[in-house]
């Protein structure tokens, strides 16, 4: 009988067992992939913490991508004219004069230029569009970045009182109309007429389309018990009957706009916040101070420059939220040439330079020498267009 001996060492095991215990290539790849995901999660967490600590970080990145390094960048050139009106479409500077409209690039060339005939030029921008019109005149034109989209000519003797674009490009036009005391026409973002209101018993002053593009607020001059006031009418764009009507006693609206989700009406003694029916929900009174300048263009806040006296420059700069409450206040003792707001930022142009604040009036950027600038246009990315008599440049904080 033949005997067989197992000559393997006790600690040895079959080759098949060793292969079974080795990690497969798929397993090694899976572990490395999990490690990569964990590392990426840590990096994203660090970035998130940085963003929470500095809410303007993304704006800095955006400015760097659009314009390059910080400082004074880009030059826009145009003919000097005291009647010039200015606005922005993206990085383009819009200049409207009595004779033309130009959309200027930052190298000084005109991206678009067209002749106009405007005695008292006015300009408004919104929704990527610009509307140029003649206050009290009969001509109106709507432009995109590339071309003229619509021209409107009123019947002779029926002047245009106001033309306003909302953030979606809906346009409300208030004008005189034969046989009536005024008319409101609303055009959608395709320049199609979607609503008309003819007033037979009250003089119309202004109108704005709501930010959801569903209704229009109309301001009319009225008289109640021997006192002048503003009557606010709201209409759905798809209905003929009014949705709301409110009388604002002793309030003569100088300007209409939006503050967050509410309408805003600015007068010389107070700013009122209104609901969808035009009724007052909150107000900010000036406490006897004189309104010198204001802007409603901030993202959910307004800025008001209130002087202590009719003449002089001693006063306060305040920011107000959509609840009518003061957000911040800053004493001012020098001449303020212009203010402008966009996004979370407020630009204040003074004789000795430009300061950019956030809504809490905390300083964000400062330009010591603004040259001979007299206007400023704030951008939502934190940059500002500083405008002089015949040129402009973009300041990057």
> Token pair for residue 195?
């609503």
CA separation for the pair 233, 374 (Å, rounded): 37
Among the listed residues 360, 345, 359, the one whose alpha carbon sits nearest the alpha carbon of residue 59: 345
Which residue ranges of the chain lie beneath pLDDT 50? 1-10, 46, 48-53
pLDDT the model gives residue 14: 53
Interval 59-99: pLDDT, tens:
777 666 667 665 565 689 999 999 999 999 988 999 999 99
Q: What is the C-alpha separation between 110 and 102, in angstroms, rounded?
A: 6
**Cross-strand partners of 391:** 77
- pLDDT of 82: 93
**CA separation for the pair 331, 337 (Å, rounded):** 16
Q: How many residues are recorded in the chain?
A: 397
Measured distance CA(324)–CA(273) in Å, rounded: 7
Closest CA to 169 of 212, 229, 118, 127: 127
- Residue ranges of alpha helices (H) inside 9-71 are 15-21, 25-53, 57-67
Is CATH 3.30.1280.10 the classification given to domain 117-285?
no
**CB half-sphere exposure, 279, CA atoms < 13 A:** 5
Q: What is the pLDDT of residues 146-160, one digit of tens each?
A: 999 999 999 888 999
Question: What are the domain boundaries of the chain?
Answer: 69-108+288-397, 117-285
Q: What long-range pairs does 347-353 form, CB within 8 A, spacing at least 24?
A: 347/376, 347/377, 347/378, 347/384, 348/317, 348/376, 349/373, 349/374, 349/375, 349/376, 349/386
């Amino acid at each position: 009988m033949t005997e067989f001996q197992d000559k393997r060492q006790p600690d040895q095991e079959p080759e098949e067992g060793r292969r079974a215990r080795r990690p497969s290539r798929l397993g090694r790849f899976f572990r490395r992939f999990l490690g990569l995901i964990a590392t990426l999660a840590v990096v994203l967490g660090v970035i998130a913490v940085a963003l929470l600590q500095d809410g303007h970080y993304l704006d800095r990145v955006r400015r760097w991508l659009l314009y390059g390094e910080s400082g004074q960048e880009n030059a826009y050139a145009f003919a000097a004219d005291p009647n010039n009106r200015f606005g922005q479409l993206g990085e383009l500077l819009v200049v409207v004069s009595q004779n033309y409209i130009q959309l200027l690039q930052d190298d000084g060339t005109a991206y678009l230029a067209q002749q106009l005939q405007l005695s008292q030029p006015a300009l408004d921008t919104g929704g990527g569009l610009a509307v140029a019109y003649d206050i009290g005149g009969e001509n109106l034109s709507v432009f995109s970045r590339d071309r003229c989209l619509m021209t409107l000519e009123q019947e002779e003797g029926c002047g245009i009182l106001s033309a306003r674009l909302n953030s979606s490009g809906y346009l409300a036009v208030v004008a005189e109309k034969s046989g009536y005391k005024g008319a409101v026409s609303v055009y959608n973002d395709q320049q199609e007429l979607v609503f008309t209101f003819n007033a037979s018993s009250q003089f119309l002053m202004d109108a704005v389309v709501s930010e959801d593009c569903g209704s229009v607020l109309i301001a009319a001059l009225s008289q109640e018990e021997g006192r002048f006031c503003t009557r606010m009418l709201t209409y759905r764009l798809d209905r003929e009957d009014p949705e709301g009507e409110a009388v604002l006693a002793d309030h003569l609206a100088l300007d209409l706009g939006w503050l967050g989700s509410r309408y805003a009406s600015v007068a010389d003694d107070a700013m009122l916040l209104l609901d969808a029916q035009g009724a007052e929900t909150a107000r900010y009174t000036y406490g006897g101070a004189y309104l010198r300048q204001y802007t409603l263009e901030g993202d959910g806040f307004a800025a008001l420059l209130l002087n202590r006296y009719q003449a002089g420059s001693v006063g306060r700069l305040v920011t107000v939220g959509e609840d009518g409450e003061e957000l911040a206040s800053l004493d001012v003792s020098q001449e303020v040439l212009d203010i402008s707001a966009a996004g979370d930022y407020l630009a204040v142009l003074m004789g000795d330079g430009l300061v950019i604040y956030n809504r809490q009036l905390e300083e964000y950027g400062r330009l010591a020498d603004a040259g001979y600038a007299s206007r400023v246009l704030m951008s939502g990315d934190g940059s500002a267009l500083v405008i002089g008599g015949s040129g402009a440049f973009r300041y990057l904080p």
